[in-house]
């Protein structure tokens, strides 16, 4: 084979290899970002948990979840802003660890308050249900759910563990509410 033919074969082989590697990389990434089975994370999961309830209770459940999200949302937005502030305090020269820790502690306290409000709303609602529905709701809420695909963190959690919580991207009644 001539030198020119070898060069063309090499370039074609390189192009095919790049195409194949790109396809495999794309397929791998799609596998990592594939939605997981089960209810969605956070408040959407709470709404999905309510799907097991009869229609009147489901409507009341949805109203409780929606109202708690609305009242907790501002605290959670403030907590996220404080978390960003805390990490930003480490970028100054010299770094300000005291300011970082103060902002992170304040952020965590706000997240805990919001979580407490959600827990309180869920418990108060569950107490109004008949025993069989209350058991079913408690079982649905206590099921553990996996991290998002690829084990990625949402960055919104405060590092607390509890029922239905397996890591920083929490699912369940105590999940961080949507970014706003």
Q: 3 versus 29: which is more confidently predicted?
A: 3
pLDDT higher than 80, residue 5: yes
Q: pLDDT at position 152, please?
A: 43
- The answer to whether 104 and 83 are in contact (CB under 8 A) is yes
Least Cα distance to 174 among 83, 126, 129, 113 occurs for: 113
pTM over 0.85: no
Distances (CA, A) of 107 to 7, 55, 84, 101, 178: 61, 37, 9, 10, 16
pLDDT in tens, 135-161: 888 888 887 554 444 444 444 443 433
Mean pLDDT, residues 65-74 taken together: 89
Q: pLDDT at position 81, please?
A: 94
Q: pLDDT at position 149, please?
A: 44
Three-state secondary structure string covering 142-176: HCCCCCCHHHCCCCCCCCCCCCCCCCCCCCCCCCC
Helices and strands, counts by H and E, the chain: 5, 0
């Amino acid at each position: 084979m001539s030198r020119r033919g070898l060069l063309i074969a090499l370039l074609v082989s390189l192009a095919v290899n790049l195409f194949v590697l790109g396809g495999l990389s794309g397929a791998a990434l799609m596998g990592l970002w594939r939605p997981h089975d089960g209810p969605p994370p956070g408040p959407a999961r709470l709404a999905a948990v309510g799907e097991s309830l009869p229609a009147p209770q489901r409507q009341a459940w949805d109203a409780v979840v929606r109202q708690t999200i609305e009242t907790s949302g501002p605290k959670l937005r403030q907590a996220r802003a404080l978390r960003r502030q805390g990490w930003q305090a480490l970028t100054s020269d010299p770094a300000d660890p005291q300011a970082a820790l103060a902002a992170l502690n304040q952020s965590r306290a706000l997240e805990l308050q919001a979580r407490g409000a959600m827990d309180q709303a869920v418990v108060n609602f569950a107490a109004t249900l008949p025993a069989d529905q209350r058991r079913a709701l408690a079982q649905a809420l206590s099921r553990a759910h996996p991290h998002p695909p690829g084990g990625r963190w949402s960055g919104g959690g405060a590092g607390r563990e509890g029922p239905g919580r397996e890591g920083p991207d929490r699912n369940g009644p105590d999940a961080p509410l949507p970014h706003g």
